[in-house]
Chains A and B, each alone.
Chain A
Amino acid sequence: MRRVILASHGSLAEGALDTLHMIVGPVEGVYAFSLRRDDVESVSDRVRALLGTFSPDDRVFVVTDMVGSSVNNDMVGLLADHPEITLLSGLNMPLVLGLVLNEDLGGPALGQTIDTARENIKNCSLAISEAEDDEGDDL
């Protein structure tokens, strides 16, 4: 099955999981991990323990909040032992929703999911002012 592991500094990952439940409803195979200042066990150790419970055929996505962050750096360290992981950074809701809901994430489909998530960062003030009566939707 598909597994999606969200990891962040503080509560972003848990918040994203909460938002996911609100938008979609119950979902299986999605997990959230937070880095805290007082952590005794590192995020990557906690994720590693979870990975150990997965089946070898599982497709695993790990999504961190930012590239270059300590959470992401930690996760990069998992890749050598866990080639089944696809590691993505830049956690936002369209990315999480795409990873959870899109049936096909093979080959170019994963790239499209990432593109869609990236395009979702938008200057809405500008887009609203430019919106026209448009694009062949007319009936």
Chain B
Amino acid sequence: MIKLVRLDYRLLHGQVCFTWVQHCDAQRIIVVDDASASNDLKKSALKLAKPQGVRLNVFTCEMAIKKMPKVEQLDENIIMIFGSTRELACFCMAWPKVREINYGATANKEGAHQYGDSIFLDANEREDTQRLLDRGVFVYIQQTPMMSRKRLVSV
């Protein structure tokens, strides 16, 4: 069962490995990030970062969509982490069962608007986010389970 769908440009890091994995009692993490899925060193770094005893897959958006029927059959608590809004929107358009998305962190950049402590969205990211909101997806900003949760209503 997919317990958490998260947007986080840092992918696997302390907040995810130590807090969300425990909070969700996760047995598997699926990273959806085209750049990591096509780079062996990045993939190895993710393997190194994952908590012991947790399974890991690193997929491109396209691969992730193809794998979903199988993923749904797994008797595991699963966290999906997306590296960018582009991959997230691409995935959610093809897999509309995602109804809730946790916006964890995006990088600050030129022209970005800030929506939370660690969420900065530029024009493209706002457009991707708007597509999700238009579909009625519940988007909330929250870094860790202990931190406050804020609903993102519009961008």
Contacts and interface: CB of A to CB of B under 8 A. Distances in A.
A4 to B, nearest CB: 15
A25 B52 contact: no
A25 B148 CA distance: 9
Interface string A11-43: 000000000001111110000000000000000
A116 interface: yes
B90 to A, nearest CB: 19
A101 B144 contact: no
Given A24-B144, A26-B147, A116-B52, A97 B18 contact: yes
Contacts of B56: 137
A49 B63 CA distance: 58
Contacts of A93: 14
Contacts of A22: 14
Tell me what chain B mostly uses at the interface: helix, strand, loop, or mixed: helix
A24 B19 contact: yes
Contacts of B18: 23-24, 97, 101
B22 interface: yes
Given A23-B15, A23-B19, A124-B48, A137 B146 contact: no
Interface of A: 22-27, 93, 97, 101-102, 116, 119, 122, 124, 127-128, 131, 134-139
